[in-house]
Amino acid sequence: MKSMYILAFYACTGVAHATIVQVQARCNIFGAGYAVPPAPGGGGGGVLPIMVPVAYVPGGYVWLSSVTGQVSAGAVFPLHGADGGTSASGTTDVLSWGGISGLIHDNRTLFLTGVFLGPSSASNPAPPRLNVTNANSQVEFSPLIAQSFFMGDGRDASDTEQRFYIPFGATRLFLGFVDALDFGNPTSNPGHYADNSGHIMATVNVLPAPAGALVGLGLMGTLCRRRRGMSCV
C-alpha cells in the first residue's frame, strides 16, 4: 500500500504525462501530419515521425528525460546520440517542405528534431527556418506551429534540462530527424532516409497532461483525495 501512496502522490502533484517513445533514424520529420513521408530530394522518405499528444495552456511545455540509443546516417557513417553527429557534410541546411520548416545547423547532422502541429496538417508557406547551431547553449525554446526545432538529448551543455514550450493551438508533437542529400550541402530538399539506421529511446514529458492522459490519472486523483487529506491540483 505504501508504494501505491507514493504513485498517487506523484500523479497528483505533477499533472504531467510521460510517454516512452522509440524514434527510428528513418523517422521523417517532414511527414508530420501526413499519411506518407515525403522525399522530394530523393533517396527514400523513410517512415512517419512519432506523434505525442499535447495540450496548450500558457506556460505549458515539453521536456525529455532518459534519452538513450544511437543512430547512423548510413553504413559508412558512425553511430552517434540524439545530439547529432558530423557525418557527410558535417552540417545541416535542409529546405522546408509541405508547410513544415527545414533546419540549419552549422556543425551537426541527424539530431533528434521536434515539430508541433494543431489538429490539421501543415500548409504553405512554412514558418521561417531556424538556425539551431547554438541550441545546446539554450534552456528554453518557443517554436511556432509547424516550425521544426532541435531537441537532441533534452539537455544543454551544462546538463540543464531544456524546456520546449507548447505553442498556441498545438495538439500534437512529432519527433523525427531532418535529412537530405549530404544533409543539404548545398541547401537541398528533404530526403535520403532509406539508408539511416538505429533509434533513439526517450521519455517525453508533457505539462499539462493532454485530456486523454488526465482521464487515465482520474483513479489516482480519487485515491489522492482520500489519503491523508491531500488535494490535487
Segment 39-47 shows an average pLDDT of 98
What per-residue confidence (pLDDT) applies to 102?
A: 98
Return d(Cα 115, Cα 173) in angstroms, integer: 6
Question: Average pLDDT over the chain, rounded to whole?
Answer: 88
With a cut of 60, say whether residue 156 has pLDDT above it. Answer: yes
Say yes or no to pLDDT of 214 above 70.
no
Q: In the predicted model, what is the mean pLDDT of residues 116-131? A: 97
Position 12 confidence tier, pLDDT thresholds 50, 70, 90:
very low
Q: Which residues contact 116 (CB under 8 A, 6 or more apart)?
A: 54, 143, 144, 145, 146, 147, 166, 167, 170, 172, 173, 174
In angstroms, the CA 102 to CA 218 distance is 39
Q: Are 42 and 192 in contact (CB under 8 A)?
A: yes
Q: Domain segments of the chain: what residues? A: 1-15+210-233, 17-208
Mean pLDDT of 189-216: 88
pLDDT given at position 1: 37
Position 7 scores a pLDDT of 33
| More confident call, 231 vs 172 | 172
Residue 113: is its pLDDT beyond 80?
Answer: yes
Distances (CA, A) of 213 to 17, 27, 56, 204, 207: 6, 24, 14, 13, 11
**What is the sign of the dihedral through the CA atoms of 170, 62, 58 and 100?**
negative
Mean pLDDT of 42-68: 97
Q: What is the mean pLDDT of residues 114-122?
A: 97
Q: What is the pLDDT of residue 213?
A: 59
For the segment 158-173, what is each residue's pLDDT rounded down to a tens digit? 999 999 999 999 999 9
Measured in whole angstroms, how far is the alpha carbon of residue 2 from the centre of its chain?
A: 35
The pLDDT confidence band at residue 40, using thresholds 50, 70 and 90, is very high
pLDDT, position 227: 37
Cα dist from 67 to 107, 158, 201, 203, whole Å: 21, 16, 6, 7
DSSP string, 138-170: -SEE-PPTT--EE-TTSB-TT-PBPEEEPPTT-
Average pLDDT over residues 76-92: 97
What pTM did the predictor assign? 0.86
According to the model, what pLDDT value does residue 231 have?
31
Q: What is the pLDDT of residue 16?
A: 85
| Predicted local distance difference test score (pLDDT) of residue 210 | 85
* Confidence class for position 211, pLDDT limits 50, 70, 90: confident
Write the class of the CATH domain 17-208.
Answer: mainly beta
